[in-house]
Structure 1
């Protein structure tokens, strides 16, 4: 991907599961990119749900699930999340890849 291309992503409803708590549904805006320094795909975005920083969670979209971590909250009650590896949404750069 060149520096001028938009990252691939997902915008829609997601289910958020934090260990020991009931699942919750939230609006999510997520994007993914390959990080050459890490040697893997990194995905991140915001969910319309307030969670403390460093909370580990499982994020599920209609396309799949993936582990993530809450990194910060904004003044509007959204939480920034980040994950590494195959994201829980389709990403063209991974099509045909067996493992990330």
Structure 2
């Protein structure tokens, strides 16, 4: 698993802190800038994890997600039918965001 090329996002290992507990998880994250309110919104899925599911029991809860690229506070919502929790946050994401300037410098 690795970073996603040519796209804002991250796919790979992460640490998820919920209350006093920390979980080693795998995530698939994306994000976009919302020009109407000026915020960056990031979101994604946490791969199914039995320990996380047992701890949350399907409840929405605040969490901190840390990847090799950064850390951010967000919220976990109820799981999908495959027991993958959705994670979302506002402002600085836990991954590197490419800008138009970054893309121009790579050419």
Give the TM-score of the pair, scaled to structure 2.
0.74
Runs of at least 5 residues in structure 1 that lack an aligned partner in the other structure: 1-5
Residues 74 and 87 of structure 2 are in contact (CA less than 8 Å); yes or no, is this contact kept in structure 1? Answer: yes
Query: Is residue 65–residue 94 contact of structure 2 (8 Å, CA) maintained in 1?
Result: yes
Q: Does structure 1 conserve the Cα–Cα contact (< 8 Å) formed by 2:12 and 2:27?
A: yes
Residue 78 of structure 1 corresponds to 84
Structure (1/2) with the larger helix percentage: 2
Q: How many corresponding residue pairs? A: 90
Aligned residue number for residue 42 of structure 1? 41
Gaps of 5+ in 2: 1-5, 103-107
Mapped to 2, the partners of 1:30 and 1:64 lie a distance apart of 13
Q: CA deviation at 1:20?
A: 2.4
Distance 1:95 1:24 in 2: 35
TM-score by length of 1: 0.79
Whichever of the two has the greater Rg, that structure is: 2
Three-state SS of the structure 2 residue aligned to 1:90 is coil
What RMSD over aligned residues (CA atoms) do the two structures have, in Å?
A: 2.1
Q: Please state how far the C-alpha of 1:94 moved relative to its aligned partner.
A: 8.8
SS of residue matched to 2:99: helix
